[in-house]
Chains A and B, each alone.
Chain A
Amino acid sequence: MQLSLCRLCFFIFIFISIPGFTYAEDENLDTIDLDFEIPEVEKKPYSFKTEFKISETIKRLDNDSLIYHQRYPDGKEDDTLYQTDLNLKVEGSYQISIVKLYARLNGDLSYNDDDNWEHDRQTEEAYVSLLPSPSVTLDVGKKVLKWGKGYAWNPVAFFSRLKNLEDPDATLEGYYVATGDFIKSMDGVLKTIALTPVILPVSRDINDDWGTERETVWGGKIYFFAFDTDLDIMFLSGEEDEDKFGIDFSKNITVNFEIHGEAAIVPDYVKDKTDQQGNLTEKKYDAKNYLLGIRYLTSYDTTYIFEYFRNGQGYTSDEMEDYFTLIEDGYQEYRNSQSMAKISKSRQYGSRFYNRQTVMKDYLYLKVSQKEPFDILYFTPSVTCLYNMNDKSSSIMPQITYTPITNLEFELRTTFFFGKDHTEFGEKINDCKIYTSVKYYF
C-alpha cells in the first residue's frame, strides 16, 4: 500500500505543478510566424493516432454494504483497493480510392493490490468502408453505432453497449455489422433525410452477447432535419431478440438552450427477478423507456446538462428489496452455518441482472461544468450528480480536466455514494472512489 500511496502522491504532485509547465513556452506575439506549413497537405492514404494513458484508481470499500458482504463474506483485510492501469489505444486508417480500412485497438495492463498483473486487449472497431459518393457509404465489420441524443443514457441505442456513467464519452467496443448511410439533402423545410440500415449476424463466434443461436438481427434508422430540429426514428427486429422501436429528437430553443429526448418501446420484454428465497421468475410486459434532457450555457460559460431517465426495463423498489433481502439472508446463513447456497445464488443473479448501473426505474442526472474559470485556459472543473428517484440514493462526482500542453491531458475525479440501507447507491461496494489519469496523444 505504501507503494500505491507514493504513486498517488506522484500524481497529485504532477497535477498541482501543471501551471508551471505553461511557462515553458515563452514566445512574444511579434515573433509568431504568420505563414505556416499545412500538415499533410499532400494527402497521405494512411493516418494514425495513438493515445497513451496512465491512471490510478483508489477505492474505499464500504464493509457494511450488502454487495461487500456478497463479494467478501469473510471480510477483507484491507478496506482500500489500489489499481494502476497502463492503457494504449491505437487507431489507424488506410484509403485507396473509394475503399477505406479503419481499426481501433485497445490494450490495457493493470497492477493491483494483490500484486496481480492483468492484461486485456480488444479490437474496439475494425471495418471496411466503401465511399462511392458523399450520398452513399457502406460499412462492413466491427463498428460502433451510437444512436440517441441523450448525454448519460441512450434508450434508443439498440446496437451499442451501455455507456459508463462515470465517463459517458469513453470509446466503446462495437459489434460485427453490415451497415451504411444513404443521404439526401434538399431545399425547403425538410433539409436532410438519411437512412441507416443495419444487419447484425449472431452466432457462437460473433456477436455472442446477443445469443448463441444462429440468427440475423435487422434494424434501421431514418434521420430527418427539418424546422431546425434533428429527428430519428429507429427499430430493431430479430428472431430470438425482442423487437424494439424508438424515436429521438434534439433542438436549440435559443442559441444557448438545447432540449433533447428519446423514447423506446420493447414489446413483450421479459424481466428476470428473484424473490427473497432466491426463486427466479419471469415477468413479461411492454417496457417503455424514455429520456428528456436539456443543455444550457450561461453567459458565464457554465454548462448545465440535466436529464430525466425512465428505465421501463428496470426494477421497482420492492423488487430490489427482495434482492437485497436475499443477499442479507444469504450472508446471515453463511455466518450461522457456513452455507454458501443463498449467497452464491445472489452472486449469480447480481452478475446477470442486478449489479449494474441504472438498475432501477427513475433517475435524474445533472452535470455542471465551468469552462476556464479564473482565466485558466483549457481547465474545466465539473460536478456530476446522479439521483435514484425510487430509493432516494445518489452519487456525486467532482471532476477536473486540464490540458495545459498540447496533446497532454490530466484528469482527477472522485465519486461519493450516498444512500440508506437497501438502496442502490447505499449498498454499493465502495463508499468512495478516486481516479486520476495522465493522457498523452501522438
Chain B
Amino acid sequence: MKKILLVVIMCLCIAAPAFALDGNEMLKKVDRNLNPESYELYRKLINIEPDGSKKEFVMYAVKKGKEKMASVFLSPASEKGRSTLRIGENMWLYIPNVGKPIRITSLQSVTGGVFNNSDIMRLDYSAEYNCEKVEAIDEGYILHLKAKTNAVAYDRVKMWVYGKRLLPDKTECFAASGMLIKTLYFKKIKDFGGGIVRPAVIETDSPLYQGYKSIMIFAKMKAKDLPDEVFTLNYMSKVEGLR
C-alpha cells in the first residue's frame, strides 16, 4: 500500500510542473526569446512560385514596445522607399510616388505571396493573443492561442514550442471559421549576438496558395531604443534614415 502511495505521490510531483505552467507567461517568454521588446533588424522575403521562380524583397525594420513597428523596403528598386507603420492594429503604407500614407489592413500583403502584413509587421504574440490552453507533448508544448480582439489577423493560433529555450517550432494560423489559413515553420536557430538566439528563418505555406511558399530570413537583429516620434505618419518617409 505504501508503495502504491509513493508511486502516486511521485506521479503527482512529476505532473505538477506541467499543471503549474501559466500559458500566458509562457507566451511572454516565447516573445522575449524571439526578440527584445525594442529592436532593429534586416529581413529578406522570398516568394517562391510552384515553377520555382522567385521574387525577393529586403527590408529594414524597427520595433518599440508592445505595439509599435516601422519598416522600409531597401530593394528591389521598384519597392525602394516604401514604408509601413503599425501601431497596435492600425497599419499604414507610404508609397513615395503617392506621397502620403494610406491605411492598410493586416490581411493584405505589401509584398504579395503567402506572408500578409500581419506576418511581416509582427508584434509580440502576447500583445495580440491569450493562451487558452497548454498541451504537454513529448518534445515540448502546444500553446492554443485565441485572438484578444476581432481586429487580429488570425482568430486562433496553435503554436508548437520545443526545447529548453522555449522557441516556437511551428504555428498553425486559423480563421474564425476554423479554416487553416497558413502554417509557419521556424528554422535555423542562430546566435545574433547580445543574447539573442532565435530561428533565423521562417517558412510558410498555405492551403489557399497551393504550391506557393514564402520565406523570411532574419539578419542583424539587435536591441535598439528609439524615440516614439519615429512611429508616426509624419516620419514614414524618413524611416530609412534610422539605419
Contacts and interface: CB of A to CB of B under 8 A. Distances in A.
A377 B47 contact: yes
Given A135-B227, A194-B234, A144 B99 contact: yes
Interface string A126-141: 0000010111010000
Contacts of B121: none
Nearest to B116: A301
Q: Is the interface of A mostly helix, strand, loop or mixed?
A: loop
Contacts of B44: 36
Interface in B208-235: 209-213, 215, 217, 219-220, 226-235
B78 A225 contact: no
A225 B68 CA distance: 14
A136 B44 CA distance: 31
A38 B76 contact: no
A18 interface: no
Interface in A257-281: 258, 260
A205 B89 CA distance: 47
Interface stretch (B11-19, B21-29, B54-62): B54-62
Interface string B33-77: 000000000101011110111111010000000000000001111
A41 interface: yes
B112 A372 contact: yes
B52 A228 contact: no
A38 B238 contact: no
A97 to B, nearest CB: 11
A296 to B, nearest CB: 10
B229 A183 contact: yes
Interface stretch (A19-27, A78-86, A323-331, A413-421): A19-27
Given A36-B44, A256-B107, A295-B103, 17 more contacts: A26-B53, A27-B54, A34-B188, A34-B217, A41-B42, A133-B227, A135-B229, A144-B99, A147-B100, A149-B102, A184-B229, A185-B232, A194-B233, A252-B89, A252-B105, A258-B103, A441-B77
25 contacts: A29-B52, A36-B44, A36-B217, A38-B42, A41-B42, A43-B243, A49-B77, A95-B241, A100-B241, A133-B229, A134-B227, A135-B229, A147-B100, A183-B235, A194-B234, A223-B234, A228-B88, A255-B150, A256-B107, A295-B103, A301-B108, A375-B211, A378-B112, A406-B55, A441-B76
